[in-house]
Structure formats: structure tokens, C-alpha cells
Amino acid sequence: MRMPAADERLLARRDALVAALRAIVPGEGVVAEEEALRVYETDGLTAYRQIPLAVVLPETVEQVSAVLRLCRAEGVKVVPRGAGTGLSGGALPLTDGIVLGLGKFNRILEVDLANRCAVVQPGVTNLAISEAVSPQGFYYAPDPSSQIACTIGGNVAENSGGVHCLKYGVTANNVLAVQVVLMDGEVVRLGGKHGDTAGYDLLGVLNGSEGLLGVVTEVTVRILARPPLAVALLLGFPTSEAGADCVARVIGAGIIPAGMEMMDKPAIDAAEAFCHPGYPTDAGAILIVELDGVAEEVDELASRVAAIAREAGATTVRQSRDEAERLVFWKGRKSAFPAVGRIAPDYICMDGTIPRARIAEVLAAIGRMARDYGLGVANVFHAGDGNLHPLILFDANVPGQTEKAEAFGADILRLCVAVGGVLTGEHGVGVEKRDLMGTMFDETDLAQQQRLKCAFDPDGLLNPGKVFPVLHRCAELGRMHVHKGALRFPDLPRF
Amino acid sequence: MARFEPADAAQAREAVAWAAAEGEPLAVVSGGTKRALGRPMQVPHELALGRLAGIVDYEPSELVLTARAATPLSDIRRVLAQRGQELAFEPCAVAPLGAAGEPTLGGVVGCNLSGPRRLRAGAARDHVLGVAAVTGRGEAVKAGGKVVKNVTGYDLPKLFTGSYGTLAVLTEITVKVMPAAEKLRTILVFGLPAGRAVALLGEAVGSPLDVTGAAYLPPAIAARSGVAHVAGARASVAALRVEGPPSSTLVRAAALRERVGAAGPVEELHGTNSRRLWDEVGSAALLAEPAGRLVWRLGLPPAAAAGVVEGLLAGIEGSALYDWAGARVWLALANREAAVQAARVRAAVAAAGGTALLVRAPEALRETLDVFDPEPPSLAGLTRRVKQAFDPKGVLNPGRMHAGL
């Protein structure tokens, strides 16, 4: 992976920079020893590693602001980091840049039940928000599978999804306001407890901006009343095609389940071997469909979904009888990654979204690619919103397999785009899919996105080398290549 | 003085490219029903998008619809209804503007207009999945995608939504659509004062009964409703809506009655009356008269809404309509000492952590007063740089949101 060239002058001045950072964040808040820096060398995309110049762990907004001002003045690159669970390498350090870790921003500032929101610092974990409001019967809806560890700041940066986002939305739909520090040290507030937008929707843009626009220092999230009942249906189908057909029929019937997950045969077998959730091992694919709400609604929809599943050829239709059984149904799905980790030394998880109507066709094509590459693949994914997560199995110790797995993954993502989908549904572009951006966007599209970055970060110091395959200087992007004489006068009907 | 009527996106691009090259600003118009929303513009040329109409692609099982910008909202509603679907953010007209004509998808998205269901389903900005657009640089760009879940690149669709045509001209828009509810009930509670009513609405919205509408109409506003139960109440009306599968809706309506019954007399509206009431609320039609009043749209932390509004209504002729359980308030105030009044509104709203949009005022006032929230210097600088990133020559709707921008 090609990263921006390191600034040798900065590397030479490392000691002076560390001293200047320590003047802002005292004590252990600046990490500069190689052994300690190694902790930060990678995120959830462990294939890529880099020791940063230093790691800064501020505790106050003032410190964040002062660190960014210093870095801007000195031309130091900054990689913001939450818990480091991201799967696309968004928090991969740069050799001549600092990592700005927000882990010490770990307080829940306010639970505001009257306004049905919570105000938290960015280092609070996703699950901790739900736990904080759970006694009052509320929860925070987006639930990425890493929710026990991932932080809300990272969720905002990646616009994280989860199992329940078809019905309850992704992070962007559940964040009401943020406080963000810009690269020039300015602190701005965007949004409010009202949920309305004043001026440009910069809050909307910040969600999913992968740490390239600003450093979030406070997040206000919407909290929802926990539904009184949730029931899961475990549906087994002879083939992935039949399962995909069932997904389309359920949505076509006007039902938006709280979650609708699919696992193919290799994923079922891995889960069964790992934690014995009782999945039908004769099935070619299973769906887990969760329905929530008041009991009458859950009952009504569960029987409708069961009927649809039978029409679609389901060979197994089981409805969870109690909460314990619902959790057992989910156990296999939720431990799919470690389960797959047991059947192969290494795996990478892809993340394209496709139109649901193309699921069966794309799964079949992925199966053919797996044979061509000579690698295994297991599919566990958010079928309800067409968000695929093929897990490519390989052994990094076998020369060439890592490259093969990456090439296979890139082929899958190109296919997703070719059938009308996108490169990433919830994991972000980061470094992983950076060089594939051209399959979805042309140069004009990408240049315009980078101009937006220039409005936030004119020197390109925030998380460079991520998302965009080619870095342009802002001055160059700002030029307009128009020549009055050369432009054709528009040939348009006019009055 | 030119009026461009592009027949396709390529012609729209040519028009903007010409404007950028010549430094000639354009007023961007789709259906034209919201011309009076925003600051008045002194712009010689018009880019009229009316011919960029029609649904391009609609796949009900994908929950996605793509249409050209000037597609009338009524066409989209009709096509969706045939397949039992709808736009869940419930776009409404802005009745106080008094404009005749057909709202279009582009106008709704450009102004980020969302109705009562916003509190459950999100705003327009939450439903715009992808766009094709022409930036102020005269370049055609696309952003987002045509699937319901996507984080590839910056979310420019959200940025364009509610940017009032000042960053880019939308030519094609992909929106998320959702199944329409099979059944609908509205529970009315009569006679509560604003503070108690908003608290009651908040409790209901915070309950697991999945409330999708929560409004409060003071007595004089309720009296103007076209729904007999509401107008005939001769009292304030707090309204709560539940929707969904039939049995669930009826059960939740009953539970809701039970829950709020102790607060005051209760009535229940069925489908037709419900739809009428929520349209009156969402469009603020009940505040449209008297026509001379200034109309504000406030965003407030719900728990603060009643206090702020009562403070603002003290000593001045006016009325309020609460939506989104208090998070949105439409406020109509007599047009007296408008500058002083505007300063009062802005100060009270800002102190509560809210936002205020001056929706209706004579042109001269919208010229001199802020229509959108004035921004603190750090944010104003960012806003200016974002505008320049998309429209460096300032040719798209200049001055519509902020003077000189």
C-alpha cells in the first residue's frame, strides 16, 4: 500500500516535536517510546502496520485544539483514532504523523431523558451508551458487531451500521449533534437536540468522513425506547438463491424487520463447529429474521414472514420461543468471525452493498471466483440491506496467499459496483478500498470530494493517504479551467 | 436577462458552465413553490429545471426510487402508493408561503423539508441516497449511490440536501422509500396547557408504542382545523399518531389512550381525518392566516419548547403550532418592530440551543434580517469555504441563505 511520502525534515525534528506536544499534553499523554508506540501500529485491518511519529492522548478539548494548531503550524500529519477496531485501515498510522487517540474522552456527560438523547465523549463505547440508558428502558440503536469495544467517535467517523440499521438507521441517522475541532484548532458545534439542520448539513458530512475533516470531541445521540418484545426466526433454505428470494419477498410484502441476516453453507458449518447454535446443517443458507415491537405486531409479522419463507422454499422454519432461544439463534451469527477464524489461519472481511435482487447472482459469482483463486470464502451478511460481508479465507504464511486474497476481495468489490452497488456499506474506504474508488467515481467526482476536504483542512494534514487514491494540493484543486472564448455558449431554449 | 430551461443534465451543466465562465449568477428554480423561502436574490438569470422531470427507476423490493429533480412530488407519491410505499420523511408543502403550484422532489430535497414523521423516520436528508448534480464550477458530479446502505466517499447527498441550491444544481435524486403503514390512528387529548402537553407528547414518544407523530395545537390554532373533532374541541389539542400493521396499530392506539387518558378528555381519529390533521400540521397550514404575520420555524430541544414559545408570545399577538413533540415549533407573530422581534426570537432560541428559520416575511425584511441562523465566526468561515469549494464564482443562488454568500 503506497502512502504519502514521509517528510524527512519532520522525522529529523521528532524530539523537538515530542517536547512541544508534551508541553500541551503532560505526563503519559504523549507516547514516544517504540515499544509503547507499537500498540498503535495497526487497527482492525491488521495486514497494514506502521509505527507513528508519536501518539498523543489528550484529555480536554483545549488540548485537542492546541495539538491541532501545533500540528498545522509545523506541518505534522494527524491520524485520529478511537478504539482502533475499524476494518478498513482508517486509523493506520503514518511514519511522519502523530496518532491522536481519543480514548481518554470516555465520559457520558448527560443522559437527557426529557429530550430523549445522551451527550457523550467520543471515546465512550457504543455499548456503554445503551448500558447507561438501559435502566430507563432506552437504548442506542446502531449496533456494529464490535460494539463492546468500538467507540462512538469511531462510529461517527465511519458512519457505522450494524444488524439493526435497516429499521433504525445507521450512525448518521441517530446522531443529533457533535462538537468538532478543525485542523486550525477552531471548535465548532453542529446540530442540536432538536434534530433540525441549520445552515449546511456539515454534521451529515462529518458522519462517515473517516477522520479526514475534523476531530470529534463530543457526540449527542438519539436514544430510543427498547421494544417490549423481540423474536427471531431461524429459516433454512436449500440454496442461497432461495434465501435471497425470501429476503426480496419479505421486503416486497411491506415488512421491514429489525434485522435480516444471511449465512451461507460454509458460514453455517463454521458457526456450528464453533458454538453449536443448532443451525440446520442440511441447509444451503439460513436467514435470521428479527422482529420487534409490541407483542401483537411481533406475532402478526412473525407469522407473515414464516408463511413467506415457506412459499420461498424454506426447509426449516423455527421461531424463538423465549429470549434465551433468540440469543442462541443470534449466537452463531455474532460469532461468525471467530468461528471462521478457527477454520482458516487468516481471513479478510469485505463489505460491499448491492441491490438485493442481485444477491443470489453475486453469491454465485463469488463462489466461482473462490474456485478460480483457490481460496475459501464464507458469507455472513446483512441481507436486509444488501450489505455483503464475504470472508475470504487464506494463510498469510503461504507465500502469495495474502496478495491473492486481496485481489479476490478487490474483484468482489468491483463486481458489487458493476451490478449497481457500492464499494463499502459500513466499514469505510480507509486504505483498504482507496485504490478502488475509481471504479465508482470519476476524477471530477473525486476532485470535488477533495475540495470539500480542502474547506476543512486546506493543508491536507488530517489523515492523508486514506479514502482518496490520488492526493491533490488544494491550490491546484481550487483552480477553474475555464476560458471564456473556449466555452461553448449554451445551446438552450430561452425566453 | 436569460432563462434557461435545460432538457437534460448535460444542458443544465452547460448553463452553469456559462454562468461560471461569465460570472453571471443564476437563480435555480424547480417547481417554484418555495421562491419566497430564503433571502431575496438580485439575480438576472434563471435556471428553470421544470423539464428535468420523470421517474428514472423504481424498484419496490429495493426500497429505492430515482427521479429527475423537477419530478412533481404528487407523481412520486402516486407511483409509490400503487406499490404500497411512500416517502417516510413525509414531505409537506410550506403553506404559509402561499405559493400555488406543484412541489417537486428537487425542491423538497433542496430545502430539506420533512413532515411530522421526522421524529421517527428521519428527515429528508436521511433518505437521500444519491444524487447527480452540477456544481457551481459547471461540472457534473455524482455522489452517494443507489443502494440503501453506503459509506463510499463523503456524504455529499446530505450536504446538498437543505443547501437551497447554493452548492450544486441537483439533476437526479435517488431516495430511500419505505412500505406505507396499513393502518393509522391518532389519539387526541384536549385542554392541556402547552408545557404539560409537550411533556405528555415526549413521554409518549419515549414509550415503546412507536409513536410517529406528536403535535400540539393551542385552542385558536385547533379551531382552524378542517377536522371536526379538532376544530370543535374549543380547547387545545395534543395529537399522537400510531401506524403499522392493523392489529398492532389498534393495540398501540388503545395502549396510548390508556396512557394519556388521565391527562384529559380523549378522542380518536381514523385514517382520513388523521391524514388531514397531519397534513395541516406538517405544512403549517393552520398558521397560514392571518397573512400579514411573520412566520418562524424553530428547532428546539423538546423539553425547552413550551417555555421558549411562551416567553416569545408574551406581549405580542401571535400563535404557535408544535410538531415533533416540541422539537419543531411554527411561530406566527404580528409584524411589528420586526427587527427587535427577530433579535428576541434569535436570542431566546440560541439560549435554548435551538435554531430559527424566518419562513415568511415581506421581501424587504428578508433582505435586511437574517433568514437563517447567523453563524459564529468559526462556523461562518467553514460555511464560506464549503460554498467556495462547490461554487467559487458564487453563481448558484447567491445570497439565498446568507448575505454575500
SS (H, E, C) chain B: CCEECCCCHHHHHHHHHHHHHHCCCEEEECCCCCCCCCCCCCCCEEEECCCCCCEEEEEHHHCEEEEECCCEHHHHHHHHHHCCEECCCCCCCCHHHCCCCCCEHHHHHHCCCCCCCHHHHCCHHHCEEEEEEEECCCCEEEEECCCCCCCCCCCHHHHHCCCCCCCEEEEEEEEECEECCCEEEEEEEECCCHHHHHHHHHHHHCCCCCEEEEEEECHHHHCCCCCHHHHCCCCCEEEEEEEECHHHHHHHHHHHHHHHHHHCCEEEECHHHHHHHHHHHHCCHHHCCCCCCEEEEEECCHHHHHHHHHHHHCCCCEEEEEEHHHCEEEEEECCCCHHHHHHHHHHHHHHCCCEEEEEECCHHHHHHCCCCCCCCHHHHHHHHHHHHHHCCCCCECCCCCCCCC
pLDDT of B177 > 80? The answer is yes
Q: Determine, for residues A194 and B126 on separate chains, whether the beta-carbon distance falls below 8 Å.
A: no
What ipTM goes with this model? Answer: 0.97
> Which among A201, A225, A424 has CB closest to B206?
A225
Q: Cell numbers at residue B359, please?
A: 419562513
Look-up of cell digits 505526563? A27
Contact A195, A227 (CB under 8 A): no
pLDDT in tens, A31-49: 999 999 999 999 999 989 9
Q: Determine, for residues A169 and B122 on separate chains, whether the beta-carbon distance falls below 8 Å.
A: yes
Measured in angstroms, the CA of B232 and the nearest CA of chain A are apart by 31
pLDDT category, B285, cuts 50, 70, 90?
Answer: very high
pLDDT in tens, B95-138: 999 988 899 999 999 999 999 999 999 999 999 999 999 999 99
**CB proximity under 8 Å: B 191-250 to A:** 199, 202, 205-210, 244-248
Measured in angstroms, the CA of B320 and the nearest CA of chain A are apart by 17
Mutate to test the interface with B, among A389, A492, A495 (most CBs of B within 10 A): A492
> Which among B61, B141, B372 has CB closest to A252?
B61
Other Cβ atoms within 10 Å of A249 Cβ, number: 17
pLDDT of B385 > 60? The answer is yes
Cα dihedral B278→B281→B284→B286 (10° resolution)? 100
| Contacts with A254 from chain B: Cβ below 8 Å | 84-85, 179-180, 182
Q: Is the peptide bond before A280 cis (omega within 30 degrees of 0)?
A: no
| Contacts with A455 from chain B: Cβ below 8 Å | 382, 385-386, 388-389
Look-up of cell digits 435502566? A135
| Pairwise CA distance, residues A24 & A71, whole Å | 12
| Pairwise CA distance, residues A97 & A7, whole Å | 9
pTM: 0.97
**CB proximity under 8 Å: B 299-358 to A:** 299-303, 324, 327-328, 353-355, 357
Mutate to test the interface with A, among B59, B86, B111, B151 (most CBs of A within 10 A): B151
pLDDT of residue B215: 98
Measured in angstroms, the CA of B17 and the nearest CA of chain A are apart by 8
pLDDT category, B1, cuts 50, 70, 90?
Answer: confident
**CB proximity under 8 Å: A 137-156 to B:** 137-138
Q: Determine, for residues B373 and A301 on separate chains, whether the beta-carbon distance falls below 8 Å.
A: no
pLDDT of residue A485: 44
Q: Determine, for residues A353 and B301 on separate chains, whether the beta-carbon distance falls below 8 Å.
A: no
Cβ neighbours of residue B381 closer than 8 Å, sequence gap 6 or more: A186
**CB proximity under 8 Å: A 117-136 to B:** none
| Pairwise CA distance, residues A378 & A375, whole Å | 10
| Contacts with B145 from chain A: Cβ below 8 Å | 353, 421-422, 440
Q: Determine, for residues A200 and B167 on separate chains, whether the beta-carbon distance falls below 8 Å.
A: yes
Mutate to test the interface with B, among A164, A179, A201, A474 (most CBs of B within 10 A): A201
**CB proximity under 8 Å: A 455-474 to B:** 455-456, 458, 467
In order of A62, A90, A429, B10, B181, the CA distances from A24 in angstroms are 9, 25, 32, 53, 56
Residue of B nearest to A299 (CA): B248
Averages of pLDDT over each 10 residues, chain A, 495 residues: 89 97 96 96 94 98 98 98 96 97 98 98 98 98 94 98 93 98 98 95 98 98 97 97 94 95 96 95 96 95 98 98 96 90 92 94 96 96 95 95 96 97 97 97 97 98 96 90 51 48
pLDDT of B373 > 70? The answer is yes
Residue of B nearest to A212 (CA): B154
What's the average model confidence in pLDDT over B87-98?
A: 96
Q: Is residue A418 within 8 angstroms of chain B, CB to CB?
A: no
pLDDT in tens, A128-143: 999 999 999 999 999 9
pLDDT of B223 > 80? The answer is yes
pLDDT of residue B99: 87
pLDDT of residue A491: 52
Mutate to test the interface with B, among A170, A389, A422 (most CBs of B within 10 A): A422
Q: Determine, for residues B251 and A166 on separate chains, whether the beta-carbon distance falls below 8 Å.
A: no
Q: Determine, for residues A455 and B247 on separate chains, whether the beta-carbon distance falls below 8 Å.
A: no
Q: Closest Cα partner for A205 from A175, A241, A161, A164?
A: A175
What's the average model confidence in pLDDT over B285-305?
A: 97
Q: Is residue A282 within 8 angstroms of chain B, CB to CB?
A: no
**CB proximity under 8 Å: B 68-87 to A:** 84-85
| Contacts with A389 from chain B: Cβ below 8 Å | none
